[in-house]
Amino acid sequence: MSNVPADLRYLKSHEWARLEADGTVTVGISDHAQQALGDLVFAEVPEAGRRVTAGEACAVVESVKAASDVYSPVSGEVVAANADLGGQPELINQDPYGAGWLMRIRPDDKAHFSTLLDAKAYEAALAAETH
Amino acid sequence: MGLRTPLFDTHVAAGARIVDFGGWDMPVNYGSQIEEHHGVRRDAGMFDVSHMCVVDLRGARVKDYLRRLLANDVAKLTQAGKALYSCMLRDHGGVIDDLIVYYMDDQWYRMVVNAGTRDKDLDWLRAHAGDFGVSVEPRFDLAMIAVQGPNARQKASALLAPALAARALELGPFFGTAGDGWFVARTGYTGEDGWEIMLPAQEAAGFWGRLRETGVMPCGLGARDTLRLEAGMNLYGSDMDETTSPLESGLGWTIAWDPQDRNFIGREALTAQKAHGVARKLVGLLLADRGVLRSHQKVIVPAVGEGEVTSGTFSPTLERSIGLARVPSQTTDRCEVEIRGRLLSATVVKPPFVRHGKITIPL
């Protein structure tokens, strides 16, 4: 079973989002996603300063098997990308909700965050997907 | 539900991730595909390859039959148990399948064909069998387990019947030996030493379990693909099919042109293709930039033309992306690959990338 932390928000496409104290939103892929993809070998994340739109494919993670788009949960400006993934893409497998984060976005509209799936809704979406 | 091998329940119980492969429910990995890959390169791993089809071909004229059907020449096989890799071609030179054939005795050859092509292979084999009085018997009663890696033979030998183990350990590369309904061959699809073991289906789960207890790592089709690609071995359906000839697929070495009067199916087409000049060739690629080569990505050879990646992956041994690509014949040492709208630089290399645990190309 995959781990779905209760304090995060999610997209059906398996991204997670965390609202930080400074108002930015950290984004990564869920434990379920990293398990399904298998060993991650490459991550392409947007550079700081780039504008992204909610629902936009703005990053790519690649496992040995396949490449997978990562969609932005919010609209805003990328303020940081996880530079450690360049040398250690396996951080996404090892710690998907921690060291394996992908990018941090300053959202245009903070209220949008609360429209994302909560843990319960994401778990329901996962259950629906596997049935 | 797809087709299942005799080891399906064993894979599920071991926590394998199951995927569809050519209509078969097969394990793609049991955990980390990269660890499985390294397990084979450094020690010993095993693969359930029971989805592949063993076919016994028998008859007084079976040798003539195979000399007509295969682009390589079974007349090269003079010692019992010797194996030959060959393509089987359509009249126009397209590859129906690639296969291994073992010479068992003058009236019996054993062939191993791919899973996804099994039905058309059997149709083709049967369509030509009548002319030669050959019987075509697929051995659905056999399972097949590949044990591969530098320590694979030593670990597996302890689990074979003593007489069979003794003969198996004496085998040279590309030889096989039979005993008690089992068949052990020193062949594989990883670039490492090892055996492919055919055995009665009902004995497969027990043997697999004993291999596991003796320290042979279960490996899925994911690792099988990265290992074969590092070893520079083609995958049917990706690197060649009925629309490509062996000459365009890096398999010219498997065509036996001599003797010139051997009229194998496809010979005329290949001869014509050679006379006109083969326009495309299959090469190895090493991606210089960061990223991962995948099949169907476009290859651009500046001032020459375009081609396509036929297989691509991240190589766990090289920690770089490698691939095979079909490109214009004039291609030399460099090209570009279009990945998500960007052109990344790659070097053209001669496979294999890795053999017997050692990197064989300049990095």
Q: Residue A131 pLDDT more than 70?
A: no
The per-residue DSSP string of B345-361 comes to EEEEEPSPSEETTEE-S
B173-208 pLDDT, tens digit each: 999 999 999 999 999 999 999 999 999 999 999 999
B62-83 average pLDDT score: 98
Which one of B34, B228, B337 makes the best mutation probe of the A interface by having the most chain A beta carbons within 10 Å?
Answer: B34
Q: What is the pLDDT of residues B104-130, one digit of tens each?
A: 999 999 999 999 999 999 999 999 999
Give how far Cα B82 sits from Cα of B52, B66, B92, B121, B177, Å: 19, 15, 29, 22, 9
Q: Which residues of A touch B226 (CB under 8 A)?
A: 64
pLDDT computed for residue A66 by the predictor: 87
Residues 6 or more apart whose CB falls under 8 angstroms from that of B1 comprise: B25
- Mean predicted confidence (pLDDT) in A68-89: 96
Structure letter (DSSP) for residue B146: E
Q: What tens digit of pLDDT does each residue of A7-51 get?
A: 999 999 999 999 999 999 999 999 999 999 999 999 999 999 999
Q: Is the dihedral of CA B81, B85, B91, B94 positive or negative?
A: positive
The mean pLDDT of chain B is 97
The per-residue pLDDT for A129 is: 83
Chain B residues closer than 8 Å to A62 by CB: 291-292, 314
Q: Is B52 helix (H, G, I), strand (E, B) or coil?
A: coil
Which residues of chain A neighbour B314 with C-beta distances below 8 Å? Answer: 41-42, 62, 64
Cis peptide bond upstream of A96, omega within 30 = no
In this prediction, residues B320-343 reach a mean pLDDT of 97
Phi/psi of residue B96, nearest 5 degrees: -70, -45
Domains of chain B with CATH codes: 8-45+143-230 (3.30.1360.120), 54-138 (3.30.70.1400), 246-359 (2.40.30.110)
**What is the average per-residue pLDDT within B61-89?**
98
Q: What is the mean pLDDT of residues B337-362?
A: 96
Q: Residue B208: which of B52, B24, B12 has the closest Cα?
A: B12
Does B352 sit behind a cis peptide bond, omega within 30 degrees of 0 on the bond before it? Answer: yes
**Which candidate in B33, B322, B344 is best for mutational testing of the A interface (most A CBs within 10 A)?**
B33
Interface A–B counts its CB contacts (< 8 A) at 37
Range A63-83 average pLDDT: 95
Check whether A121 has a pLDDT greater than 70: yes
As a whole number, the mean pLDDT across chain A is 95
Tell me the ipTM for this assembly.
0.82
In this structure, what token pair is assigned to residue B322? 């490698």
Name the minimum distance, in Å, from the CA of B205 to any CA of chain A: 26
Give yes or no for residue B289 having a pLDDT over 90.
no
Q: First vs last Cα of chain B: how many Å apart?
A: 44
| Cα–Cα distance for residue pair A18/A10, rounded to 1 Å | 9
pLDDT for the residue B222: 96
Q: Is the pLDDT of residue B334 over 90?
A: yes
Average pLDDT of the segment spanning B165-178: 98
Check whether B1 has a pLDDT greater than 90: no
Query: pLDDT at position B89, please?
Result: 98
pLDDT score for A65: 85
One-character DSSP codes across B203-231: GHHHHHHHHHHTTPEE--HHHHHHHHHHT
Position B50 pLDDT exceeds 90: yes
B→A interface, C-beta within 8 Å: 17, 28-29, 32-34, 222, 226, 290-292, 294, 313-314, 316, 321, 340
Is domain A9-108 classified as CATH 2.40.50.100?
A: yes
Q: What are the beta bridge partners of residue B342?
A: B339
Average pLDDT (A79-92) is: 95
Cα B56 to Cα B44: distance, rounded to the nearest angstrom: 29
Helix count (H) and strand count (E) of chain A?
3, 9
A64 part of contact set with chain B, CB < 8 Å: yes
- Write out pLDDT tens, residues B227-268: 999 999 999 999 999 999 999 999 999 999 999 999 999 999
Percent of chain A past pLDDT 90, that is, above it, reads: 93
Q: What is the mean pLDDT of residues B151-161?
A: 98
The model carries a pTM of: 0.93
The reply to whether residue A42 touches residue B32, judged by beta carbons under 8 angstroms, is no
Given a cut of 90, whether residue A84 has pLDDT beyond it is yes
Yes or no: say if B192 and B150 are a contact pair by the CB < 8 Å rule: yes
Burial environment of residue A11 by CB neighbours within 10 A (0 to 12, 13 to 18, 19 or more): buried
